[in-house]
A = this chain, B = another copy of it.
């Protein structure tokens, strides 16, 4: 995330203009929308890292927009509002917003909160599952509820064992799993040395999800140790 993209959603142009000055100065790329509907259409086209969302807007208000956004993607949402009552704050947070700032606000405070949110998301360098049972690795998505795997939107058919292995590795991105550990986690029985069944399954998975199974993008071999998904 060299230059994070921030989407500002507010019907008051002055507020957006003000924020733009501060945020451009911090090196962010900015997108704007005047209401929730506009915001959603921007999100379809653009890759956004964080959203600043006003609660009070015409057409579709911020709370509704927030819920809709949460259904689709997961990214930090900071709510903005003229109402400063605590009930509003709580409402905002339980709709899935990640933070809340009440108007009138000090732009520096908002900048700090934006940084804080982005920092957290990059620190946990991890995909943001919109649904709990979704694992995403680049263009590969694994749904543990429906047992579906999609590559670039196309359906990939995996057998139960293949699925279990891929899920295991994807759930623990980065961690290397030895063949023995994989066997025990998936088969739930003791591993016998010189059993290459895990290896054959890995090969089958690669055949299905990798463009070039010889040079795998998703499941990497760590020589002498095991396999991992990066």
- In angstroms, Cα B127 to Cα A172, docked, is 8
Residue A153 is within 8 A (CB to CB) of chain B in the complex: no
User: Which residues of chain B come closer than 8 Å to A116, judged between CB atoms?
Assistant: 93, 97-99
Q: CB distance B120 to A93 under 8 Å?
A: no
Residue A194 is within 8 A (CB to CB) of chain B in the complex: no
User: Which residues of chain B come closer than 8 Å to A150, judged between CB atoms?
Assistant: none
Chain A interface size, under 10 / 10 to 19 / 20 to 34 / 35 or more: 35 or more
Whether A124 contacts B129 in the complex (CB less than 8 A), given A146-B174, A225-B147, comes out as yes
Partner of A93, one of B86, B106, B113: B113
- In angstroms, Cα B124 to Cα A124, docked, is 9
Q: Which chain B residue has the least Cβ–Cβ distance from A175?
A: B145
User: Which residues of chain B come closer than 8 Å to A146, judged between CB atoms?
Assistant: 174-176, 228
A65–chain B nearest beta-carbon distance, Å = 18
Residue A185 is within 8 A (CB to CB) of chain B in the complex: no
* In the complex, per-residue mask of A73-98: 1 if CB is within 8 Å of any chain B CB, else 0: 01000000000001001100110011
Residue numbers of A with Cβ under 8 A of B are 74, 86, 89-90, 93-94, 97-99, 106, 108-109, 111-113, 115-116, 120, 123-129, 132, 143, 145-147, 159-160, 171-176, 222-225, 228
**Top 3 nearest A-B pairs by Cβ distance?**
A160-B224, A90-B112, A93-B116
